[in-house]
Structure 1
Amino acid sequence: MTTGVRRRMGVEERRQQLIGVALELFSRRSPDEVSIDEIASAAGISRPLVYHYFPGKLSLYEAALQRASDDLAARFVEPKEGPLGARLLRVMGRYFDFVDEHGPGFSALMRGGPAVGSSTTNALVDSVRQAAYVQILAHLDVTDPPARLDLVVRSWISLAESTALIWLDGRRIPREELQAQLVHDFAALAAVSAAYDEEMSALLRRILADEPADGPFADLVGQLIELAS
């Protein structure tokens, strides 16, 4: 470790440093296990100075969650170019990058952690889900989704969350397989819904018409045919 003259930071710069330090610690261990003293030590300042910028651990935790939720929501942003299956696969790759790098932080964000029941925490989780929802609809070129499409997209986002949380408990399945499986899950949910609704059927036909023979959606169809034969 190198030492040197400690640089004086402005108020906002110091706040952002503390949020970054806290997020890094929360990403490695449960927030319940991280103390203010540990955050202060990692930031190179005193415990009272942490309280100068944040009234308590909960407020710092929520600020760290805000940064994490903004980062996670941004993982769903993808240029609307190329087939949908490939786009979703890239999105899932970035999503699991975050989950892999920030396991305890991701769990804390989705499960509530020490701020369980907090309206702030609940709002952050909802903001991630809504950002994902808006992005998926944009990829589908739909602005006013019918009820069944709304159900498919929201169900898939919940499935991605629960899959990631279960995967973190032991990581027993290669993440690349889960990323592909979740893309297949989206297609399967859409296909089942299409069996009951003509609008969904038309949407599914439009999606599949743009899919290449070696894309993830076509790969699912091939696997199903092989299983049925």
Structure 2
Amino acid sequence: MTTGVRRRMGVDERRAQLIGVALELFSDRSPDDVSIDEIAAAAGISRPLVYHYFPGKQSLYEAALGRAADELAGRFLEAHEGPLGARLLRVMGRFFDFVEEHGPGFSALLRGGPSGGSSTADAMIDGVRQAAYGQILSHLQVTSPPARLELVVRSWVSLAETTALLWLDGRRIPRAELELQLVHDFAALASVSAAYDQEMAGIVLRVFAQEPADGPFGDLLGRLSAIAPAAPAVPQQRSR
């Protein structure tokens, strides 16, 4: 963060600087607890100059969210080539690149805005989630998803967000392990749903048929097989 250094900047450069400062401050504390004076001091400019570029703290907050949201949504773009498991693993790699490089911005993106709320900020956050949801459906080659598939994909996007936020707090699990685990989580969620619904079963079987044994989904099967001998036997139900 820039502190106490005054120098002339162009309009775009100054706006970008203020947005970067805002992302850091808003991630550490609630936007309600961050004053324009703090933002100005961190940027090395006067309070009136902040208002020259942004009419108020809410507009600065939304500009900061907008930059973070646009970049994060772009991390879910992936070429439709190769098995789905490998594609998802590459997406998770870029997703965690963003989380690691822009931790404050990521935290600010998912944190609620100033009191009173902001429909603009909420729309930006929902836009990122919708972009991720749409990308996954396109990789699955599904245009009209059944209810269970929508539940699986949206739940998985939410899980990825929560996992990343928890990882930022201490980074107690190796990042690469979490990236692979999230890909496994997607396969597991889809598989459980397939056990309840024939349409989901057809989608899952089609995807798994294209997965190589040495891919992420094949790795999951190997890990599950390794613990299977230790699992308690399931008693057989008697037919009535």
Is TM > 0.5 for Structure 1 vs Structure 2? yes
Q: Say whether the 8 Å CA contact 2:24–2:104 is kept in structure 1.
A: no
Task: Say if 1:30 and 1:104, in contact at 8 Å, map to a contact too.
Answer: no
List per-residue Cα deviations over 1:185-220 (Å, max 9, x = no partner): 000011001111111111111111111111110000
Q: Where do residues 113-132 of structure 1 align in structure 2 (5 Å cutoff)?
A: 113-114=113-114, 117-132=117-132
Flag as ranges the 4+ runs of structure 1 deviating above 4 A.
5-8, 24-27, 31-35, 41-44
Percent of aligned pairs sharing the same letter: 74
Q: Distance in 2 between matches of 1:45 and 1:77?
A: 37
Q: 1:40 to 1:205 in 2, by over 3 A?
A: same
Distance across 1 between alignment mates of 2:176 and 2:116: 31
Tell me which residue corresponds to 1:203.
203
- The DSSP-based 3-state class of the residue aligned with 2:114 is helix
More helix by share: 1
What's the offset of the Cα at 1:228? 0.6
Looking at structure 1, the residues matched to 211 and 114 of structure 2 have their Cα atoms a distance apart, in angstroms, of 44
Contact 1:136 1:153 in 2 (8 A): yes
Q: Secondary structure at the match of 1:187?
A: helix
Larger radius of gyration: 2
- Unmatched runs of 5 consecutive residues or more in structure 2: 230-240
How does the TM-score come out when normalised to structure 1? 0.87
**Equivalent residue number for residue 100 of structure 1:** 100
> What pairs with 1:140-159 in structure 2 (closer than 5 Å)?
140-159=140-159
Give how far 1:174 is off: 1.1
Asked whether the equivalents of residues 72 and 98 of structure 2 are also in contact (C-alpha less than 8 Å), the reply is yes
> 2:23·2:104 contact (CA, 8 Å) conserved in 1?
no
Residue-pair matches, total: 225
**Aligned equivalents of 1:110 and 1:39: distance in 2?**
20
Question: Counterparts of 1:181 and 1:204 in 2: how far apart (Å)?
Answer: 18
Could you tell me whether the CA contact under 8 Å between 2:19 and 2:60 is conserved in 1? yes
- Say which is worse superposed, 33-42 or 78-87, in terms of deviation: 33-42
Distance 1:74 1:158 in 2: 17
Q: Flag the 1:8–1:112 CA change in 2: closer, same or farther, 3 A.
A: closer
**Deviation (angstroms), 1:104:** 3.1
Cα deviation for residue 26 of structure 1 reads 4.7
1:126 CA displacement: 0.5
Query: Hey, what does 1:36 align to over in structure 2?
Result: 36
CA drift at 1:42: 5.1
> Which range is displaced more, 16-25 or 48-57?
16-25
Task: Please tell me the root mean square deviation across aligned C-alpha atoms, in Å.
Answer: 2.4
Unaligned 5+ segments in structure 1 are none
Q: Which residue of 2 aligns with 1:188?
A: 188
Report the alpha carbon displacement of residue 37 of structure 1 after superposing the two structures with TM.
Answer: 3.8
